A and B are shown apart, each in its own frame.
Chain A
């Protein structure tokens, strides 16, 4: 196979990993909203946990995105 084509295909495959992070981030905010609407008074105290969970989950998507970008531009 042409190495350049293989590089682009690899970048595309690596980008699929972001779908998992998308589901995770959606799950975090969805769960937070459903919990917050049940008990709005406790929502504010959990905001830092929300942001923390978001950052940790989002990082995994960023990893695959990084691999895709590095394949495109750095390899």
Chain B
């Protein structure tokens, strides 16, 4: 059975090939044309591509919406002097279910 050194020596006999000289130019031409064709806009900050940041931003936006909603209802109570039931009130209300 052939040993590892023999095999490595045979493998090293495999010919080395080089690409044609114009390959780089062809690639550049096609790549730049394709980017233009697809109207790719470069330069989007990496932070916007990161799902962790996107999640954090979405959570922060939701929190601000909730705070704004609750603050709006509270203001309505003050203005109209009428109690406005909010989701928060419903959750915190103690119901006597024995009735």
Q: Do A and B share a complex?
A: no
A interface residues (Cβ-Cβ under 8 A, vs B): none
